[in-house]
């Protein structure tokens, strides 16, 4: 007998799911729920990286419940599992970008600046206490200026028989 748990699962923000081949797979019903870790192994405020083939997923127990997202920053793909989780906010360890896991939106652009998901430009910036980084003209500056910071990608997650399960897209 399968037993559902009382572990809070955060809802996926409206309109935000796995994109690309993942969303097609999820929409087509070819995503299967796969067991990851025991739900009691992920306390509030903790994160855990799980891997399925070449797909790395981050499980995070946020202040609104457990979410499953790509374990890569939507800016330059650094592993978010190496970042810091504060409530629903996760900070990238590479360029100090910060993302709200309750909405999927960036709350602080990466230090490199660039375009947000809606196409608005944000200049480079330096964290408090750090010297401003020069941004000399050239191809690298142009690439940073055109880099779009996407929204976080989510995967459906549930608890069955005490295990956290994630819907993993199949090719």
Element (H, E) at 139: helix 139-146
- CA dist 80 and 104 (Å) reads 13
Burial label for 154, CB within 10 Å (0-12, 13-18, 19+), is buried
**Calculated CA dihedral for residues 145, 147, 152, 154, nearest 10 degrees:** 170
Q: Contact at 8 Å (CB) between 136 and 5?
A: no
pLDDT in tens, the chain (171 residues): 454 556 788 777 766 655 443 443 344 457 899 999 999 999 999 999 999 999 999 999 999 999 999 999 999 899 999 999 999 999 999 999 999 999 999 999 999 889 998 999 998 889 889 887 777 789 988 988 899 999 999 999 999 999 999 999 876
Q: Minimal CA–CA distance to 73: which of 54, 92, 100, 47? A: 92
pLDDT of residue 102: 93
Residue identified by tokens 């602080």 is: 108
**Calculated CA dihedral for residues 20, 73, 126, 106, nearest 10 degrees:** 60
> Does the reported pTM lie above 0.85?
no
């Amino acid at each position: 007998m399968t037993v559902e748990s009382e572990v809070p699962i955060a809802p996926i923000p409206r309109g935000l799911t796995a994109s690309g081949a993942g969303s097609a797979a999820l929409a087509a019903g070819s995503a299967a729920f796969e067991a990851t870790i025991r739900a009691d192994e992920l306390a509030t405020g903790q994160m855990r990286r799980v891997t399925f083939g070449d797909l790395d997923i981050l499980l995070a127990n946020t202040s609104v419940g457990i979410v499953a997202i790509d374990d890569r920053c939507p800016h330059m793909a650094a592993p978010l599992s190496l970042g810091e989780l504060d409530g629903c906010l996760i900070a990238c360890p590479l360029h100090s970008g910060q993302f709200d896991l309750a909405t999927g939106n960036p709350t602080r652009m990466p230090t490199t600046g660039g375009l947000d998901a809606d196409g608005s430009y944000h200049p480079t910036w330096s964290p408090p206490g750090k010297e401003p980084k020069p941004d000399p003209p050239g191809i690298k500056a142009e690439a940073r200026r055109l880099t779009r910071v996407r929204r976080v990608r989510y995967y459906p997650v549930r608890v069955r028989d005490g295990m956290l399960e994630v819907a993993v897209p199949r090719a």
